[in-house]
């Protein structure tokens, strides 16, 4: 089954383990701090980061967010299914539903800074900070949840590696410009 073609900006660069550590909590903390620090320049644009042993690919997530949920999830699965991927992270400003659903009623969408990381063994690490109308965090620190602490995975994210394995998803990238460095 073929899905739609996506035109997505991708930047590739070398992986520094100081900037992108291999430890789950250190990586999550670093990416969460990166997103929070970017807020000083405006709302951080949603991105998908693919970390390999020696390389980082930075995908612009906005075209994915405009796709249907099925196509978005399959594309993320194909991204995760590439050879040599250590983990995939979704970072930036997103609309999230925070709070418990009641019968026939879902919590409203709220703007939040999000960092969600998933590894091939399906463990994950997540942080989010809700933003107020002034586009500033309404809490002093992000809320952090992890699979290893027994939390259920947040809805709407993750499951990309298992989807890639189940459906044998692959990614076919066509380069249209010279590669740029990931900063």
pLDDT > 90: what percent of the chain? 67
Domain ranges of the chain: 10-167
Task: List all residues 6 or more positions away from 19 whose beta carbon is below 8 Å from its beta carbon.
Answer: 30
Q: Could you tell me the pLDDT band of residue 61, with boundaries at 50, 70 and 90?
A: very high
pLDDT of residue 183: 45
pLDDT at 170 (0 to 100): 81
Q: Which of 110 and 58 is assigned the larger pLDDT? A: 58
pLDDT of residue 176: 65
Q: What's the rounded mean pLDDT across residues 50-76?
A: 91
Give tens-digit pLDDT for 126-139: 999 999 999 999 98
pLDDT at 100: 64
pLDDT in tens, 10-42: 999 999 999 999 999 999 999 999 999 999 999
Judge whether 27 and 21 are in contact, CB under 8 Å.
yes
Residues 165-182 have a mean pLDDT of 72
Residues 68 and 80 sit within 8 Å (Cβ to Cβ)? no
Q: Would the pLDDT of 154 be above 70? A: yes
Q: Supply the pLDDT for residue 125.
A: 98
Q: Please give the C-alpha separations between residue 71 and each of 77, 89, 105, 169, in angstroms, as whole numbers.
A: 10, 18, 26, 12
* Token couple for 3: 């899905």
pLDDT digits (tens, 9 = 90+) for 79-89: 999 999 999 99
Mean pLDDT across the chain: 88
Neighbouring CB atoms inside 10 A of 147's CB total 18
Residue 4: pLDDT band (50, 70, 90) is: low
Percentage of residues in the chain with pLDDT exceeding 70? 87
Average of pLDDT values for 42-49?
95
């Amino acid at each position: 089954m073929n899905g739609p073609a996506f035109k997505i900006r991708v930047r590739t660069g070398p992986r520094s383990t100081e900037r992108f550590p291999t430890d789950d909590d250190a990586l999550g903390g670093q990416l969460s701090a990166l997103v929070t620090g970017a807020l000083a320049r405006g709302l951080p644009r949603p991105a998908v980061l693919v970390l390999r042993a020696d390389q980082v690919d930075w995908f612009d997530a906005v075209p994915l967010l405009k796709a249907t949920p099925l196509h978005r999830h399959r594309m993320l699965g194909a991204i995760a299914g590439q050879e040599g991927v250590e983990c995939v992270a979704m970072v930036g400003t997103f609309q999230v539903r925070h709070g418990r659903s009641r019968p026939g009623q879902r919590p409203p969408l709220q703007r939040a800074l999000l960092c969600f990381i998933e590894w091939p063994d399906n463990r994950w690490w997540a942080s989010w900070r809700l933003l107020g109308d002034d586009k500033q965090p309404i809490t002093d620190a992000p809320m952090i949840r992890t699979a290893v602490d027994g939390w259920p995975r947040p809805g709407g994210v993750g499951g990309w590696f298992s989807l890639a394995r189940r459906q044998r998803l692959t990614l076919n990238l066509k380069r249209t410009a010279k590669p740029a460095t990931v900063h």
